[in-house]
Amino acid sequence: MIFFFSATGNSQYAAQRVAAATGDSVVSIGVAMKDRHFAFDVTEDERIGFVVPTFAWTLPGVVASFINKLELTGYRDKYVYAIFTCGESCGGGPAAIRELLGRKGIGFSGGFELVTIDNFIVWSTIPSEEEVSRKLKAADVILDEIIKSVCAKKSGIISGEYKNLYMPFECFSSSDGTSKLIVSDDCVGCGLCVMMCPTGAIKMNEEEGPYWDGECSLCLACLHRCPVSAIDYGTDTVGKRRWKYPGLIPQTINKY
């Protein structure tokens, strides 16, 4: 079984590539969180994988929350691994997930780093088409090697240091004026942002469109997935190119 979290498709693509090679089922952490589904039987599985992005050189808050709530049956003596998609480095991700899994008595065989497109455009920008193509081709080569290691149940990275076990959530409220995520008049009211939000922090007002009220993981799925680029993070993302992995669509249905 492979658990993945993905805002723009980087980790979803990697998870699906691994699943195609191993025959494992794939579960979206974002969907499971919204469904409040945390119990899984992995007795018949040979491997348990986590394919997740790197947030501030550690785990996304959503992933940490999911692992804390996770109830696995039949995980003893299984090969448990993680793949960390990142723009530069997975940082303390392997050590953080090892800590969280260890608290539940789940062993960890190690993590693998997959450098791909950095989508946190609050700090960065999406590169040119030529650079994107180069990076994706390079990532595919690395992913091929990772898949070989996973199929062979090889050990990965288990060390490293983390400042935080996960990137802290931010509490946003549009009504109080504290939301850094804002929507422009270009919004068409499609509701995709509401559907994509893993923490349920986005609601829809029929007259005014989406608004934020709750804990935000800063995954930026709402910003990147908006079909008309109507969502921004203050002024930090205005005019910047958005990103979603080519050919992938949001995964909204899990087969538990």
CATH number of the domain that residue 201 is part of: 3.30.70.20
Residue 241, in any domain of the structure = no
Average pLDDT on 76-101 reads: 96
Q: Is the pLDDT of residue 251 over 70?
A: no
Q: Is the pLDDT of residue 53 over 90?
A: yes
Average pLDDT over residues 68-80: 96
In this structure, the answer to whether residues 138 and 45 fall within a common structural domain is: yes
Q: pLDDT digit string (tens) for 108-165? A: 999 999 999 999 999 999 999 999 999 999 999 999 999 999 999 999 998 778 889 9
Structurally, how many domains does the chain consist of? 2
Q: Of the given ranges (37-41, 48-52, 208-212), which has the lowest mean pLDDT?
A: 208-212
Q: Are residues 214 and 143 in the same domain?
A: no
93 shares a domain with 21: yes
**Predicted confidence band of residue 208 (pLDDT cuts 50, 70, 90):** confident
Q: How far apart are CA 59 and CA 61, in angstroms?
A: 6
The torsion region of residue 248 among left (phi > 0), alpha (psi -120 to 50) and beta comes to beta
Please answer whether residues 54 and 22 qualify as being in contact, where contact means their C-beta atoms are separated by less than 8 angstroms: no
151, 184, 201: which is the final residue of a domain? 151
Same domain flag for 210 and 178: yes
- Output the domain CATH number for residue 146: 3.40.50.360
Residue span of the structural domain in which 31 resides: 2-151
User: Do 15 and 47 meet the contact criterion of CB atoms below 8 Å apart?
Assistant: no
| pTM for the model | 0.95
Query: Which residue in 132, 124, 122 sits closest to 223, CA to CA?
Result: 122
Tell me: do 137 and 179 sit in the same domain: no
Shared-domain flag, residues 9 and 129? yes
Is residue 68 domain-resident? Answer: yes
Between the alpha carbon of residue 151 and those of residues 79, 80, 225, the distances in Å are 10, 12, 32
**CB-based contact 198:225 (threshold 8 Å):** no
pLDDT of residue 255: 60
What pLDDT score was predicted for residue 249?
64
Q: Strand pairing partners for 159? A: none
Binned at pLDDT 50, 70 and 90, residue 229 comes out as very high
So what's the pLDDT on residue 250? 60
